[in-house]
Amino acid sequence: MDIIIFRWLNSWAGVNQFYDSAIIFRAEYLPWWVGVGILAFYVLGRDKKREFLMIAHTFAAAVLARFVFAEIIRFFYDRPRPFEVLDNVYQLVQHSMGGSFPSGHAAFFFALATGVFFYRKWWGVLFYAAALLVSFSRVAAGIHWTSDILAGAAIGIFSAWLLEIFFRRFKLLERLR
């Protein structure tokens, strides 16, 4: 199933310049806009303390997901990337070999989206949409499997949820509010 979905998404790469540019933008540049979007909550928000808590929670969850959980899994399981094992992969984004599972981008951006969702539901849904666009564009670009994305998304959501439980258990958010 991984190969079927990968082949379908990757078949959009190399079709024309517009599609390629859209895939590259979502895979490489949209992540920066998502980060700026989260920081904009603080700059534009009225309740600076609440906005700071949301930003701290989201980035802590993202760092936990990407640089702790994802790296621990990669240490024990070094999965090759699609362009390493399949023929005729149209690779739009350059990437080093190995370390495909789980997707660090998916872990990071789904953790951000979940953190935002805990504080602002509607905005959280938009950040989930951005996380989906970033993540599946990396499949279309030829550097991830679909299961890498799904595992990364689960790790990101779990990380944000784990921090939320931790904060509530030790009443850390209430002390800061």
| Domain ranges across the chain | 2-176
In contact, 101 and 79? CB cutoff 8 Å: yes
**Residue 86 CA: distances (Å) to CA of 24, 98, 147, 152:** 20, 13, 16, 22
What's at 146, amino acid-wise? T
What pLDDT, on a 0 to 100 scale, did the predictor assign at position 55? Answer: 92
Rounded Cα distance, 177 and 175, in Å: 6
What pLDDT, on a 0 to 100 scale, did the predictor assign at position 15? Answer: 87
What pLDDT, on a 0 to 100 scale, did the predictor assign at position 158? Answer: 98
Model confidence, pTM:
0.93
Per-residue pLDDT of the chain (177 residues; tens, 9 = 90+): 888 999 999 998 988 999 999 999 999 999 999 999 998 988 888 888 888 888 999 999 999 999 999 999 999 999 999 999 988 898 989 888 888 999 999 999 999 999 999 999 999 999 999 999 999 999 999 999 999 999 999 999 999 999 999 888 876 665 554
Handedness of CA 57, 60, 61, 62 (dihedral sign): positive
Handedness of CA 101, 106, 107, 108 (dihedral sign): positive
| The token pair that represents 44 in the structure block | 């534009």
Strand runs labelled E in 91-157? none
Q: What is the CATH topology of the domain spanning 2-176?
A: Vanadium-containing Chloroperoxidase; domain 1 (1.20.144)
